[in-house]
Structure 1
Amino acid sequence: MKKRTGKKRSGDDSAGQVSGKIINITKKFMRAWPLPAPDEEGDKEERGRVLVVGGAPGMPGAVVLAATAALRAGAGKLQIATISSIAQTVAASVPEARVFALPETKAGAFTAAAAVEIAKRANSVEAVVIGPGMIDENAVARLMIKLIPRIKLPTLIVDAAALAVLSRSTKILHSLQGKVVITPHAGEMASALGIDKEEVLKDKAGIAGGAAHDFQAVVALKGSETFIVAPEGEIYCNRTGNIGLATSGSGDTLSGIIAGLVARGATPIQAAAWGVYLHGR
């Protein structure tokens, strides 16, 4: 699935990127693939740390949902980086978190200069969620372009408005060396690839596989059937989703769950598969 200047990328380009059979996620299968268990003698540091980056005027709830989900999924410590105008509201809503207020544009988006401070915080945690509640896709893309090369240690979970940066280049995430999970729905996947949503829906497994290979990221292509694919082609299908998840804040919660699972020691593909499964239960 190579990018072609001036032309849409066809869904057919994604074919052949899925290796082996699709593994259906079931209770029996998940019992055989247990999540890392916390040390009963451990402390909150050993349970892992999560940073959630997001928020906008009138939308503090998205970052609150993601942050709360990360804690409930098992993270031991939580930080939130959000724009200065809503930082106090977020801090009051998530008293467990350390909240950092960062500079914002007149429209309420993060400034590109915030990337330096975010990277500083990010490189002291195990997992970073970026995207919930963010606005102005161009501003978010500028932030991501400055931020990604500075990310050295954590696994990055990219959701919502932050997914818009994927349309700029298939190589934008390569420096993360596979330590990244993207969580698009069909519309966001289509926008990232420059194809029609209908093409995505016709071959979700193939499209997800091609995207995972090209972006070098774990892809969780959301829907009533969610396909979770590793860059190497390992693929899972989850069917615990339902129409009840098609609601505001649902995706924010999923991204937080995945981050919490990464923080407690799961690999990106295991965290994504387990996160999607638990989210649908």
Structure 2
Amino acid sequence: MTIVNGVDIIKVSRIENLLNKERDRFLNKIFTQDEIEYIKIKDYNSQTVSGLFAAKEAISKLLGTGVGKVNWKHMEILHDKKGKPLVKLHNKGYKISKALNIENIKLSITHENEYALAFVTGETIKCQKDIIIPKYIKRMLPKREKDSHKGTYGRVGIIAGSKGMTGAPYLSAMAALRSGSGLVYAIVPDAISNILSVKLTEAIIKPIGNNIDHFTMDSVKEILKAIEGMEALAIGPGMGTDEERIELVKEILLTFHKPVVIDADGINCISKDNPDVLLNRQEPTIITPHPGEMSKLVKTRIEDIQKNRVEYSKYVSNRYKIITVLKGAGTIVSSEKGEVYVNTTGNAGMATAGSGDVLTGVIAGFLGQNIDPYKAAILGVYCHGLAGDLAEIDKGQYGMIARDILQNIPKSINKIQPL
């Protein structure tokens, strides 16, 4: 961690002259409405205004931009109940601070005779390696529109979980939210719904069945009702496998006519039954197997798959007309058209329980935002790996857990977005 700072000093008489000559024009140009209200409370005191002005100059120096690339209103000085100044960044100011990994910004304002002095500090973590985002990755992420609402960014359903496996639906649902989904529904067995209601504040919980520990065919109609109106679906994490759940997965895949991500036990279910069910879907389907799940799907040894990862990925995509995401070092994304992407982000610390559940949620979140399915898979894999690289800076590879990856998803997306 490195401490960075910015400092500025201004003569109070300069600000006093501006207040006397063109007060309203000056204030409206430099300050936000909340700041102007604070200045009014202080009876337009020239020392107060000078301190706020110097603070904004100091913050722009901290960010390394000066006032220009960030404008005056991208930086806002608020105050807590005790009158302590607090920094809030908006728009480009916020984006630049995140791109530079500047956090925990603290501001001090003081006055010395006829001068106002502002001093600001921030903490930044120096990346262990330069992160250069390929332009084709940046082009995959659409710009969010100002005139939009939560429905604009998709309704995503996460069908997951069973007794003892509450972490999987939590991680997938949170990852979908963190990747920009407008509405995320955690569709879980009733017996674990109370736990998910506590863990998931922002998601909508859809309990299925009556105090059941896991999904059964008796609840298939209830599930199909719950997923009506969804733009995308993820199915499988932590749901378990048996004859009923195998049949349940098949029924959902054949009935839901929108894009689906199949992961974990969802893949195991179709592997045990008949993978040809995938051929009966007319809508985009993405599977996200690790090598063990892939070996069950193609009835081949893990060792053989690992020696020929690209070939097996292409084979599965072509055979079943789907997008395949074969996880592991250098995750492979292949399409039914023969396209292949080999991911360059990620590290060995991501080989931890729940990491795949996070990836499933990220891809489903991008699908729900109507991003092209193949691009959504690539973008999801890239962001997920980059989040792992960012988590490594703080936690290292040995101490990294899935929640560390999850918490860095927004940072990874911020790095992909152009300033």
Asked if Structure 1 and Structure 2 have the same fold, meaning a TM-score greater than 0.5 normalized by the shorter chain, the answer is yes
Once the two structures are superposed, the pairs formed by residues 111-190 of structure 1 within 5 Å of their partners are 111-152=216-257, 154-167=258-271, 168-190=273-295
Q: Structure 2: which amino acid aligns with 1:99?
A: I
Does the residue aligned with 1:52 lie in a helix, a strand or coil? strand
Name which of 31, 39, 42 aligns with 2:145. 39
Q: Structure 2: which amino acid aligns with 1:269?
A: Y
- Partners of 1:209 and 1:49 lie apart in 2 by 30
- Partners of 1:244 and 1:137 lie apart in 2 by 32
Does the residue aligned with 2:286 lie in a helix, a strand or coil? strand
Per the alignment, residue 134 of structure 2 pairs with: 28
Q: Structure 2: which amino acid aligns with 1:62?
A: A
Alignment TM-score, normalising by the size of structure 2: 0.58
Name which of 178, 181, 187 aligns with 1:81. 187
Rg: which structure is higher? 2
Does the residue aligned with 1:192 lie in a helix, a strand or coil? helix
Once the two structures are superposed, the pairs formed by residues 261-272 of structure 1 within 5 Å of their partners are 261-272=366-377
Q: Structure 1: which amino acid aligns with 2:284?
A: K
The answer on whether the counterparts of 1:179 and 1:217 sit within 8 Å (CA) in structure 2 is: yes
User: % of aligned pairs identical?
Assistant: 31
Q: Structure 2: which amino acid aligns with 1:124?
A: G
Q: How far apart are 1:115 and its partner, in Å?
A: 2.3
Q: Is residue 2:307 matched to residue 1:209?
A: no
Q: Unpaired segments of 5 or more residues in structure 2?
A: 1-131, 387-419
Name which of 319, 326, 341 aligns with 1:221. 326
Per the alignment, residue 8 of structure 1 pairs with: none
Q: How far apart are 1:229 and its partner, in Å?
A: 0.5
Q: Is residue 2:361 matched to residue 1:256?
A: yes
* CA RMSD across the alignment: 1.7
The answer on whether the counterparts of 1:112 and 1:146 sit within 8 Å (CA) in structure 2 is: no
Q: How far apart are 1:178 and its partner, in Å?
A: 4.5
Which of the pair has the greater relative contact order for Cα pairs under 8 Å at 6+ separation? 1
**CA offsets, 1:83-129, max 9 Å, x none?**
011101101111212211112797x3200232222222323111111
The answer on whether the counterparts of 1:36 and 1:264 sit within 8 Å (CA) in structure 2 is: no
The answer on whether the counterparts of 2:177 and 2:365 sit within 8 Å (CA) in structure 1 is: yes
- Evaluate the alpha carbon distance shift between residue 214 and residue 166 of structure 1 in structure 2; reply closer, same or farther with a 3 A threshold: farther
Count of aligned residue pairs for this structure pair: 254
Name which of 341, 344, 368 aligns with 1:239. 344
Per the alignment, residue 409 of structure 2 pairs with: none
The list of structure 1 runs, each at least 4 consecutive aligned residues, that deviate by more than 6 angstroms after superposition, is none
The answer on whether the counterparts of 1:80 and 1:99 sit within 8 Å (CA) in structure 2 is: yes
Q: How far apart are 1:146 and its partner, in Å?
A: 1.9
- Evaluate the alpha carbon distance shift between residue 38 and residue 174 of structure 1 in structure 2; reply closer, same or farther with a 3 A threshold: farther
Q: Structure 2: which amino acid aligns with 1:160?
A: A
Q: How far apart are 1:164 and its partner, in Å?
A: 1.3
**CA offsets, 1:172-193, max 9 Å, x none?**
1123225111000111000111
- Partners of 1:180 and 1:74 lie apart in 2 by 20
